[in-house]
Amino acid sequence: ASSVKSKRTHNIGVLLPEIAMIFFPDVLEGIDSAAKERGYKLFFLSTGYNFEEEKENLKFLKSSWVDGILLDSCCKQADMPEYLKLLTTNIPSKNVPVVTLESSFHSKKLGFVGIDHVKYTKMAIQHLIEQGHRDIAIMGGPGHLPLSADNMQGYKEALREAGLPIKEENYLQGDYLPVSGYDAVKKAFTQGKKPTWTALFCANDQMAIGAVKAAINLGIKIPGQLAIMGFDNVFPGSLIDPQLT
């Protein structure tokens, strides 16, 4: 009755794309810690990188007893303008604010928490260039995600500013999971023309860990023959040998 009167439930809905990925439990733990400090509880749902399921879960949370929603979306970049309408539409008599994580929808109606992936990917590539590398590959996540476009932009900016060529064959595709990093590197070195790149930047640590495993199995010395750099700083990156940069 108190909740009905105040229209406050002290519940927060959380939508994450894949709880099985190493990155997201830490995110959820941080959300939970901040919520508890303020007397809130979490209503958590995982979408499995399924956009249709994400939309259904979003509608459910907006119509249920939550005061706000934290969303790490798997929406395609091309679909963002249309999806924004759903994100900013409220049910009658209840305003449910949405804060997006990682990917910004560039709307004043939505909060956003994330980092500048263009800037920090650029810094990573510049670090590899400073180490003497002139032929650098990049392994991004699914191509339709905004984060992948941001990683690619930072990568290209760093190469252009250093006067280095941008080669299409230096783009590797992953899905943020270790097996995709393993498969991509194994395929690159065992099928067709052998790669000329001496360094590989991976858009997250899990793909980088898979890449390291594949390189070791192929007898490629790290970092002597191939430098591999991750992005996230999750703890398993310190457990492999050699450790991830």
Q: Where are the strands (E) in the chain, listed by range?
A: 11-16, 41-46, 68-71, 98-101, 111-113, 136-140, 171-173, 199-202, 227-229
Angle, CA 50 vertex, CA 49 and CA 53 arms, to 5°: 130
Looking at residue 232, what is its pLDDT? 87
> Quick one: pLDDT at residue 91?
66
Residue 14, Ramachandran bin (φ over 0: left; ψ between -120 and 50: alpha; else beta) = beta
Would you call 110 helix, strand, or coil by DSSP?
A: coil
Look up the pTM and report it: 0.87
Distances (CA, A) of 127 to 67, 119, 169, 220: 43, 12, 21, 21
CA distance 102 to 130: 28
C-alpha distances in Å from residue 118, one per residue of 114, 158, 200: 12, 10, 17
Q: Which of 11, 86, 88 is nearest to 51 (CA)?
A: 86
Each of the 245 residues of the chain gets a pLDDT tens digit; together they read 444 445 678 999 999 998 878 889 889 999 999 999 999 999 999 998 899 999 999 999 988 789 999 999 999 988 999 999 889 887 666 788 999 999 889 888 899 999 999 999 999 999 999 999 999 999 999 888 889 999 999 999 999 999 999 999 999 999 999 999 999 999 999 988 889 999 999 999 999 999 999 999 999 999 999 999 999 888 787 778 888 88
CB within 8 Å of 108: residues ≥ 6 apart: none
Separation of alpha carbons 83 and 78, rounded Å: 10
